[in-house]
Copies of this chain bind each other. A is one copy, B any other.
């Protein structure tokens, strides 16, 4: 059994950590706002695959108290990405493996500036999950983890897959983590981006309107072009295939019902938006590679503006001067 630190006990960290603890691992949760509730009552998982409680849960207020573990699973929102190295460091010894279970681009590369890149992994959760109260997590749909190793080492990828599959989790191993990140962005950029840029709307509003659907597809095609340029620049032979990606992503979305993206939920609840890792980093990557991605740039700009409004950096227009 492995010792595992969960850095960030939100819905995703709490759920996957609880699944690993249920499988017998020594899972230690780092929690801030929910520390008291979890230390008193554990974690309460309400899942369409079966409810369970993790009680007691091993929960800590600081990473230093957690100590060095075999695995660190970083499940922070990427709006806290700057804090990740300092939170991971106290848990990381020479043999510790670090898994970034987060959305977006460029995350493992940033961790590699602090930790041994041979022990850095990435995972993307395809899961419909919400924290509905302190220590209470509702798991509504899906749950698959797409995982990979920063340098695509097959033996390392297998080690992570075995850990997760031992907890009966649904795991897909990416032979190419970079490809897998771009593949996920083919969904996240159009759907997270439009769901907020259009003012906080669900996926059915996007797929059911010709203009919104067309803009989603244009954004997706730009992600494919950009991802392929990035893969080529990294010397990878793998590519995304436009028609296959477009068909698969819209087909996937059509099975979701009126899904609310994580970013649309953050927007509706006035929480920080994961704008930089999902949209900003791809937009900057495009500029660096000389790839023209005007739809992505527009979505980045408008989600960024939504975040500025949330922070009251941009005032909203009420009645006032104008007219042109």
Task: Write out, one digit per residue, whether chain A residues 178-220 have a CB within 8 A of any chain B CB (1) or not (0).
Answer: 0000000001100100010111111001000101101100100
Number of copies: 2
Task: Write out, one digit per residue, whether chain A residues 283-303 have a CB within 8 A of any chain B CB (1) or not (0).
Answer: 000000000001101111110
A261 and B324: CB pair below 8 A?
Answer: yes
A140 and B321: CB pair below 8 A?
Answer: yes
A30 on the B face (CB < 8 A) = no
Asked whether A211 and B301 contact (CB < 8 A) given A264-B317, A269-B319, the answer is yes
Count, chain A residues at interface, CB 8 A: 62
A50 on the B face (CB < 8 A) = no
Q: Which of A78-86, A90-98, A308-316 forms part of the interface with chain B?
A: A308-316
A residues apposed to B, CB below 8 Å: 11-12, 125-130, 140-142, 187-188, 191, 195, 197-202, 205, 209, 211-212, 214-215, 218, 257, 259-262, 264-265, 267-269, 294-295, 297-302, 304-306, 308-309, 314-324
B199 and A323: CB pair below 8 A?
Answer: no
A321 and B259: CB pair below 8 A?
Answer: yes
A294 to chain B: which residues have CB within 8 Å? Answer: 218, 294-295, 298
Most chain B C-beta atoms within 10 Å of own C-beta, residue among A267, A297, A305 = A305
A265 to B130, CA, bound (A): 36
Partner of A302, one of B197, B297, B322: B197
A314 to B195, CA, bound (A): 11
B317 and A268: CB pair below 8 A?
Answer: yes
B215 and A322: CB pair below 8 A?
Answer: no
B199 and A322: CB pair below 8 A?
Answer: no
B198 and A314: CB pair below 8 A?
Answer: yes
Of all chain B residues, the one with the shortest Cβ separation from A264 is B317
A109 to chain B, nearest CB (A): 22
A201 and B321: CB pair below 8 A?
Answer: no
Partner of A298, one of B259, B298, B306: B298
A130 and B321: CB pair below 8 A?
Answer: yes
A304 to B209, CA, bound (A): 10
**A142-B324, A268-B318, A268-B319 are known contacts; what are 15 more A-B pairs with Cβ within 8 Å?**
A127-B324, A130-B319, A191-B324, A199-B199, A201-B305, A201-B314, A218-B294, A257-B321, A259-B321, A259-B322, A260-B320, A265-B317, A265-B320, A267-B317, A298-B298
B195 and A317: CB pair below 8 A?
Answer: yes
Of all chain B residues, the one with the shortest Cβ separation from A253 is B324
B268 and A308: CB pair below 8 A?
Answer: no
Partner of A305, one of B127, B212, B261: B212
A314 to chain B: which residues have CB within 8 Å? Answer: 198, 201, 205, 209
